[in-house]
Amino acid sequence: MDTLASPHATLDGVDLHALADRLGTPLYVYSASAIRERIASLQSALHGTDHLICFAVKANPNRGVLALMHEHGVGADIVSAGELWRARKAGIPAGRIVFSGVGKTEAELADALKIGVLRFNVESHDELLALQRVAQALGAKARAAVRINPDVDALTHAKISTGRAENKFGVSIDEARHWFAGRDALSHVQLDGLHVHIGSQILQLDPFRQALQRVAAFWRELAAQGHAIRSIDVGGGLGVCYRQGHDHPIDAAAYVALVREALAGFAGRLLFEPGRYLVGEAGVLLTRVIRLKQGDERTFLVLDAAMNDLARPSLYDAWHDIAPVAGDARPMTSYDIVGPVCETGDTFARARALPACAPGDLLMIRTTGAYGASMASTYNSRPLAAEVMVDKGRYAVVRQRQSFEDMVAGEQPAKHWETA
């Protein structure tokens, strides 16, 4: 069967062949226009609602991406001091930053309090007490939300599900009830928010509905007891399309309608923490074919990108569409698409049909704007790939390709021995 190769030789008006020739591969390319469109679609769905969108920095912490978020009034959902630092560097005001995560250290809590972040999403009683201690020591008042674990199946990959009782995230509604009952003892914590995040890459509305209904029932119960709830943070989790014709993402308007319906009557502020939805489909990873290798049983297509650049396939068996960057019509061939790293798990796809490839061909691995570069490592001493932003026919490098010197920065031979 003959087929036309992918017609997508450009992204956001920039020629991808020219970009790869100039900047080398592997290369992450992010479309600023595509990111803006996603921000706009969520913002327009939320029009008229008191809300704040806080981009989950972990999805793509690149400073160029964060600057774009900030330019459009989007805040940040952070989970570490490093993410806080990046968000602030990008100019995102502290008043638009929420701090999530099960392992915030007292040093991180103190840093974030001094900066004056909008809210701490508190995930355990121990953390609540730590926050009270740290705030008291600083003479500050911490605004906090309790992260509810609603015990809902997000119907996604087990490794990215977070809302089951067996998961480490959040606390049960029953435990949260006790927190509110003891709220008066918290002299330096203003506990007046609820938070829920049940998982990532969610493609069905039902898990969101179930989780939000539980949170809504709890909010009503608290309100009836006279506990003012000023904000409800509904987390992130909106899925994107990794496999054309197979994944059918939820429409932002339908999602927002569901949130509104579940939380009908809530007059406070709604917080959203989308990561993947805003940046996932905006990115591609450009990579070249190094060689073809005919094994006894399979034909391998060896790329210059590997699991260190994009971990999702090896970590979650995640599917990413892979396509040639334009080209002639060629017969379809089945390949195991692999990287050069010395692990069998360094496999992007097995038995994947692609137009026949030759060494030097440029391919793109799609939907890699989220959890791509952000999860990269230098395993096998492969320097971090370059990242570039494209925007209506122009491009700007937002991360230089790492040099060998950069890669070993901070390392040294053990010369100066000391005793601890």
Q: Which residues are annotated as catalytic? A: 342
**Residue of 113, 160, 194, 349 interacting with ligand LLP (CB under 6 A):** 160
To the question of whether residue 221 is assigned a binding role by annotation, the answer is no
Q: Which amino acid is at 55?
A: F
Tokens 């492969």, located at residue: 382
Nearer to ligand LLP, 150 or 274 (CB): 274
Residue 99 found at the interface with ligand LLP (CB under 6 A)? no
SS3 state of residue 48: coil
Q: Taking the complex as a whole, how short is the minimal distance between the CB of residue 413 and ligand LLP, in angstroms? A: 35
Residue 235 found at the interface with ligand LLP (CB under 6 A)? yes
Residue 325 found at the interface with ligand LLP (CB under 6 A)? no
> How many helices (H) does the chain have, and how many strands (E)?
12, 20
H/E segment holding residue 82: helix 81-89
Q: Which stretch binds ligand LLP (CB under 6 A): 40-48, 170-178, 233-241, 353-361?
A: 233-241
**Residue of 143, 197, 288, 320 interacting with ligand LLP (CB under 6 A):** 197
To the question of whether residue 207 is assigned a binding role by annotation, the answer is no
DSSP 160: G
Residue 302 found at the interface with ligand LLP (CB under 6 A)? no
**Residue of 100, 132, 231, 287 interacting with ligand LLP (CB under 6 A):** 100
Nearer to ligand LLP, 78 or 289 (CB): 78
Residue 96 found at the interface with ligand LLP (CB under 6 A)? no
To the question of whether residue 275 is assigned a binding role by annotation, the answer is yes
- Which residues, listed in sequence order, are joined to residue 396 by a DSSP beta bridge? 389
Q: Which stretch binds ligand LLP (CB under 6 A): 186-194, 224-232, 273-281, 361-369?
A: 273-281
Span 367-396, contacts to ligand LLP by CB under 6 A = 370-371, 375
246, with CB counted inside 10 A (0-12, 13-18, 19+), is exposed
To the question of whether residue 316 is assigned a binding role by annotation, the answer is yes
Contact by Cβ (8 Å): 156, 200: yes
To the question of whether residue 139 is assigned a binding role by annotation, the answer is no
d(CA 129, CA 309): 39
Q: What stretches of 205-269 show up as alpha helix (H) in DSSP?
A: 205-224, 252-262
- The residues near 300 (Cβ < 8 Å, ≥ 6 apart) are 292, 293, 294, 335, 336, 337, 338
**Residue of 60, 124, 201, 308 interacting with ligand LLP (CB under 6 A):** 201
Residue 104 found at the interface with ligand LLP (CB under 6 A)? no
Residue 277 found at the interface with ligand LLP (CB under 6 A)? yes
**Residue of 26, 61, 275, 324 interacting with ligand LLP (CB under 6 A):** 275
Give me 50's structure tokens.
């008191």
Question: Minimal CA–CA distance to 393: which of 52, 2, 31?
Answer: 31
Question: Sign (positive/negative) of CA torsion 158, 160, 164, 165?
Answer: positive
Residue 272 found at the interface with ligand LLP (CB under 6 A)? no
Question: Minimal CA–CA distance to 276: which of 42, 7, 10?
Answer: 42
Helix axes 205-224, 173-181, angle to 10 degrees: 30
To the question of whether residue 339 is assigned a binding role by annotation, the answer is no
Nearer to ligand LLP, 38 or 382 (CB): 38
d(CA 213, CA 205): 12
Q: Taking the complex as a whole, how short is the minimal distance between the CB of residue 77 and ligand LLP, in angstroms? A: 5
SS3 state of residue 137: helix
SS3 state of residue 226: coil
d(CA 121, CA 50): 19
To the question of whether residue 245 is assigned a binding role by annotation, the answer is no
Residue 75 found at the interface with ligand LLP (CB under 6 A)? no
Q: Taking the complex as a whole, how short is the minimal distance between the CB of residue 329 and ligand LLP, in angstroms? A: 34
Residues that bind ligand LLP (CB under 6 A): 56, 59, 77, 100, 160, 197, 200-201, 235-238, 273-277, 312, 316, 370-371, 375
Annotated binding site for pyridoxal 5'-phosphate: 237, 273-276, 371
Annotated binding site: 237, 273-276, 312, 316, 343, 371
